[in-house]
Structure 1
Amino acid sequence: MNHTSDQSRDQAGRLPAAFLRPGSASFTDFVREYSPELLPAARPLPSAGGLPGGGPGNGEAPHATTIVALVFADGVVMAGDRRATAGPMIAQRDIKKVFQTDEHSCAGIAGVAGLAVEMIRLFQVELEHFEKLEGTLMSFEGKANRLSTMIRGNLGLAMQGLAVVPLFAGYDLDAGRGRIVGYDVTGGRSEEKDHHTVGSGSIFARGALKKLYRPAMSEAETVRVAVEALWDAADDDSATGGPDLLRKIWPVVAVVTAAGFRQVPDAELEPVVEAVVAGRRGNPGGNPGITGGEA
């Protein structure tokens, strides 16, 4: 996206007029007007056997799953497993699927991993660009709507099997609470009240959340429940990776409150994972009555 290179300047070193003309606070709209070919949805598709991560002739691109998000007393928690798959193969064991999008929001990716990461990176720039031009943070509603527009722009690729379905969450400073927004491939958005899941393991994670979730949980309890839900997803969905105790690969867990975004460090997450594993020994299905810090 760096178009301020030498080729973007004239012989006197000046930027083109398009870079200096007042206009929309949307970075995506600017790129669409100046160099639309840079947007992910505008790029031509490779041949069937040439997709990144695919085996010879199978055209399989790495896919990312599973994301869970939960509202708790002080904000929202989002967590994602670390596995990416290409067909029946594990393409990556430690992919990151949960990203900070600005100071008070985050997004998790499900779908074609490469396109999804690129979309979220563009969304991050979009929010930063708006803040610099307008001198204020975009509202939660504005952020959710802007991401919806970006997903809709990918509809052509989605219809060709390259779908991206993010999950968006954050702390709404105006409402004073955590919020979760889900999407479909057309960019249609829906507000989720307490918790939501996306990805191939979402049905299993959602079943766990229905048993474990309760309103007004503490941050520690909510993180534990998120890890439990990912464990259940990995137990029944081959595309979802459970915590890897041998390689010490844990889920990515983010917490967003009025104080801002925080990714839970591995040192803090490891004892939570170990407690979940200990609770599942001899009882792999888990005990729906166990939440929070109880082992």
Structure 2
Amino acid sequence: MTPWTPGPDATTSGRLPHAFTTPGSSSFVDFLAGYAPQLLPGHRPLPTSEVAAPHGTTIVALAFEGGIVMAGDRRATMGPMIASREIEKVFPADEYSAVGIAGAAGLAVELVRLFQLELEHYEKIEGSLLSLDGKANRLATMIRGNLGLAMQGLAVVPLFGGFDLDRGVGRIFSYDVTGGRYEEHDHHSVGSGSVFARGSLKKLWRPGLDADGAVRVAVEALVDAADDDSATGGPDTVRRIWPVVATVTAAGYLRAGDEQLGEIVERVEQERREAHRGRGGAAR
């Protein structure tokens, strides 16, 4: 991250600079753009050539009765190499929303942290939560500010979702590198394995799913993506590395435990082994 340097109105008296005590926008990003713009990801000098950096891969999200589930695999790649087997790509944006990252991993994690701070800052200044549509729009603006880096190969494409307190339902939003915001219905996936995950979601998702059923569908979609996409890491039963899976409901953000995920993975693998043996028996 770029080292912090004092703004133009910084003082040496120990008092806060005027920018910190002057009323203004409830947006922390707007404040930072005026006081220390060099700290924003999109204001950094552009690389002169394509940069080799770890990339996050597949994120899935789906709606169920009472909220959403968001899940991401744990693999990061750098070209043909596995850069990490344990990266986390799904984060709480605030108490009632979650964001998953695909693309340049370092920039994506930094963008998520800035987004979390943006929502927290708004809540402290305004004394209330930003609406879910407002959160989705703020994230779109932040992605748009990263367009220059995206054109150099350092693209960040998040998936955002949460529980809409006004409507009482879970909602999902996708984005493109220009900051375009699109509301998705029922389910969606982004990243290198998204084509395979979407095919799985279309077959497995159904209206009326409960939270446990939706978690199972999300895990199985990631397993299907990992089966066909080398950049997506499937559940690692040897190292006990499971996907990051979280539900967001009226009760807030809740991450699924390793014990629950291990049981789901075991059931999915057992069912597939039995199906495989059945096909083999029929062939004989």
Residue equivalent to 1:27: 28
Output the TM-score relative to the length of structure 1.
0.89
C-alpha deviation, 1:78, in angstroms:
0.2
C-alpha deviation, 1:4, in angstroms:
10
Alignment: residue pair count:
277
- Which piece of structure 1 moves more, 266-275 or 109-118? 266-275
Q: Do the aligned partners of 2:4 and 2:39 also contact (CA within 8 Å) in 1?
A: no
CA distance in 2 between counterparts of 1:72 and 1:60 reads 38
The alignment-based identity, stated in percent, is 66
Residue equivalent to 1:291: none
Question: How is 1:45-84 mapped onto 2 (pairs within 5 angstroms)?
Answer: 45-46=46-47, 48=49, 59-84=51-76
CA distance in 2 between counterparts of 1:45 and 1:145 reads 25
Q: Match for 2:134 among 142, 157, 164?
A: 142
Q: Match for 1:113 among 100, 105, 119?
A: 105
CA distance in 1 between counterparts of 2:91 and 2:150 reads 22
Residue equivalent to 2:12: 11
C-alpha deviation, 1:3, in angstroms:
6.3
Q: Does 1:245 align with 2:237?
A: yes
Residue equivalent to 2:282: none
Residue equivalent to 2:225: 233
2:24 is paired with a residue whose SS is: coil
* Residue type of the alignment partner of 2:17: P
CA distance in 1 between counterparts of 2:103 and 2:96 reads 24
2:138 is paired with a residue whose SS is: helix
Residue equivalent to 1:52: none
C-alpha deviation, 1:280, in angstroms:
1.6
Query: Cα deviations across residues 191-230 of structure 1 (Å, max 9, x unaligned)?
Result: 1110000000000000000100001201111000000000
C-alpha deviation, 1:9, in angstroms:
5.5
- The alignment yields a C-alpha RMSD, in angstroms, of 2.2
1:96 is paired with a residue whose SS is: coil
Query: Cα deviations across residues 133-185 of structure 1 (Å, max 9, x unaligned)?
Result: 00000000100000000010011111111110000000000010000000111
Runs of 5+ consecutive residues of structure 2 not aligned to the other structure: 280-284
CA distance in 2 between counterparts of 1:219 and 1:85 reads 30
Q: Match for 1:174 among 157, 161, 166?
A: 166
Q: Does 1:212 align with 2:204?
A: yes
Query: Cα deviations across residues 101-122 of structure 1 (Å, max 9, x unaligned)?
Result: 0010000000000000000100
Q: Does 1:199 align with 2:191?
A: yes
Residue equivalent to 1:99: 91
Runs of 5+ consecutive residues of structure 1 not aligned to the other structure: 50-58, 288-295
